[in-house]
Chain A
Amino acid sequence: EDQVTQSPEALRLQEGESSSLNCSYTVSGLRGLFWYRQDPGKGPEFLFTLYSAGEEKEKERLKATLTKKESFLHITAPKPEDSATYLCAVCNLNNNDMRFGAGTRLTVKP
């Protein structure tokens, strides 16, 4: 069965303190790995899709990377408005099923 594990569960950073969120996955065949951002009480907002090991994508202060077993979401010099829960998901190549991790709740203090 496909599995996605995100760590840490929660992360508190000072404004400007760079860090990384981890997403470890097992999947029988990877069609794509997704990162979403979710603000409290709202639906997830799509950030990135990564398709193959070595691929990287960037958006403002966020950069996502992918290996064969895990993905990292690097946050450079975060700001308080980056505070949110970040969700990782994998899409199975064989059946197109999506499997989500439980998320990492990021808090950035000014």
Chain B
Amino acid sequence: DVKVTQSSRYLVKRTGEKVFLECVQDMDHENMFWYRQDPGLGLRLIYFSYDVKMKEKGDIPEGYSVSREKKERFSLILESASTNQTSMYLCASRLGTNQETQYFGPGTRLLVL
């Protein structure tokens, strides 16, 4: 079974703080993704990574950065958190570019005050 874990289930931060969200997968998947999920908007792609040290912008990258130093770990960074970044953050991984199915972690619900 694919196992994707996220460092926190719930997080409360203040405006302007730097926030790190971490995602780890244990199935040697090449591709990893960060989404945010808001009511009525569905999942929107923030960033993705095809391989170690590679990153690509998704649909809504503004205000976020990512890091992938090891294959199993993909971090999402909010450089200066703002209230409009309050959301559910979901990490996903996929075996490789020739595979379509993405497997998701449990999510991190972030509240920025």
Chain-B contact segment, one of A36-44, A66-74, A75-83 = A36-44
How would residues 75 to 109 of chain B score, 1 for a CB under 8 Å from any chain A CB and 0 otherwise?
A: 00000000000000010100001001111111101
**A107 CB–B CB distance under 8 Å:** no
What is the number of contacts between chain A and chain B, taking CB atoms within 8 Å?
A: 47
Which chain A residues lie closer than 8 Å to B42 at the CB level? 4, 87, 100-103
Which chain A residues lie closer than 8 Å to B40 at the CB level? 9, 102
Which chain A residues in 30-74 approach chain B with CB under 8 Å? 31-32, 34, 36, 41-46, 49
Q: Check if A42 sits within 8 Å of B107, measured CB to CB.
A: yes
Which chain A residues lie closer than 8 Å to B109 at the CB level? 41
**B24 CB–A CB distance under 8 Å:** no
**B54 CB–A CB distance under 8 Å:** no
A36 to B42 alpha-carbon distance, docked (Å):
12
Q: Check if A49 sits within 8 Å of B101, measured CB to CB.
A: yes
**B45 CB–A CB distance under 8 Å:** yes
A-B contacts, 27 listed (Cβ < 8 Å): A4-B42, A32-B101, A41-B9, A41-B109, A42-B106, A42-B107, A43-B104, A43-B106, A44-B104, A45-B104, A46-B101, A46-B102, A49-B100, A49-B101, A87-B42, A87-B43, A89-B43, A91-B100, A96-B100, A98-B45, A98-B102, A100-B42, A100-B43, A101-B42, A102-B40, A102-B41, A102-B42
Extra contacts besides A41-B107, A98-B100 (8): CB < 8 Å: A4-B42, A9-B40, A36-B104, A44-B104, A46-B104, A49-B100, A96-B100, A98-B45
